Amino acid sequence: MLGLSDNVNNNHNILIHIGYHKTGTSWLQNKFFENPISGINSVAKYKDRPRWVTEVIKPFYLYDEAKVLEYFEGSYNPDKLNVFSLERLAGYPSTGGYDSLEIAQRLKSLFPNAKILIVVREQFSMIKSHYIEYLKANGTAKLEELLTPKRFYLIRNPIFQLKYFDYIDLINVYDKLFGKDTVLVLPYELMKEDSVIFIEYICKFGEIKNYEKIISKLPLEEKVNVQILPRDAYINRTYSRVFGSNNSLETLISNRSLKFLFNIFYKKLPINYGGILEKEIKTTMKKHIPKDYYLESNILLEQRIKYHHQIDLKTLGYTI
């Protein structure tokens, strides 16, 4: 194990924000962690995330811990809270978070004294949001096809898993690796309901001084990475199912005009595509996900969240 240099490792001023996806991560990264007002040193800048993702999630036979450490130490500031924010660290929903355990173990090896921030979201809302994001990225499957893959025994690739959203499983992993005192879990819904309190909890956890003044200057109402409309998601899926979803540069360039014309044609038709998709998602989840599917997990999740703060998940829409 290489580990950080003594100069870095002896400073307990590293906060790793692992996600989850679709929990306000873009706003936190752009408007808080990278905001000069915050006094935070964002190690993996928003525009530089692809490089970090590429290195951190490589399979074990390609992974180079020394290279990640080189990246980190080149960005480290001993006089500030150093935040490493990358939602991919919690795994990826479309692949069932298959590598989330290995990533957690890598982070422990890289940053043994770091603090961990995990932001969760009510599962039914999360699944819907992720699915629309999946369609934005030219996904072709209907939600039902993701929830009930055919000929499961022949599938070779990691796939979407409802169990991935049992957040307590991954939280327990981080608790065992880093200790409960250094792992903060917050619900995304608190950020929407009271962003000041949400940011205040993070500031206190990261031991940020004068946080009241900092919070007062943050653009709390500003939106970042706004999700596409269900109408556009439906049209995207239709296009991808008809013409394919190859995302290579060559295909994107050759299909640009075709997709432009396709979108104009579809949007001219007097059909409520957004309503169709909304109804399809609602019907599919009702059919395939029992209302109390996450009940047991959420009871444990709430208990874990209350280790740091008295937050009632039921009032925030969770099944409890």
Question: Could you report the average pLDDT of every consecutive run of 10 residues in the chain (320 residues)?
Answer: 57 90 96 96 88 91 94 93 96 95 97 97 98 92 89 71 97 98 98 97 96 96 90 88 62 60 73 94 97 98 97 97
**27: domain range?**
6-121+162-223+293-311
Q: Residue 248 has what pLDDT?
A: 46
Residue 100 maps to a domain: yes
In contact, 34 and 17? CB cutoff 8 Å: no
Q: Residue 281 has what pLDDT?
A: 97
In contact, 240 and 140? CB cutoff 8 Å: yes
List 120's β-bridge partners, or say none: 187
Q: Residue 235 has what pLDDT?
A: 86
Length in residues, the chain: 320
pTM equals: 0.91
Residue 84 maps to a domain: yes
Q: Is the peptide bond before 20 cis (omega within 30 degrees of 0)?
A: yes
Number of domain units in the chain: 1
Residue 253 maps to a domain: no
Helix (H, G, I), strand (E, B) or coil at 191: helix
- Dist CA 241 CA 39 (whole Å): 46
Residue 271 maps to a domain: no
**Cβ neighbour number for residue 188 with a 10 Å cutoff:** 21
Which is nearest to 243 in space by CA: 230, 232, 254? 254
Exposed/middle/buried for residue 50 (C-beta within 10 Å: 0-12, 13-18, 19+): exposed
Q: Residue 245 has what pLDDT?
A: 66
Residue 76 maps to a domain: yes
Exposed/middle/buried for residue 45 (C-beta within 10 Å: 0-12, 13-18, 19+): middle
Q: pLDDT tens-digit profile of 198-237?
A: 999 999 999 999 999 999 999 999 999 889 999 989 988 9
- Dist CA 157 CA 41 (whole Å): 37
**Cβ neighbour number for residue 250 with a 10 Å cutoff:** 8
CATH number at 51 reads 3.40.50.300
Residue 194 maps to a domain: yes
Residue 144 maps to a domain: no
Residue 147 maps to a domain: no
Which is nearest to 189 in space by CA: 16, 29, 39, 22? 22
- Dist CA 198 CA 28 (whole Å): 11
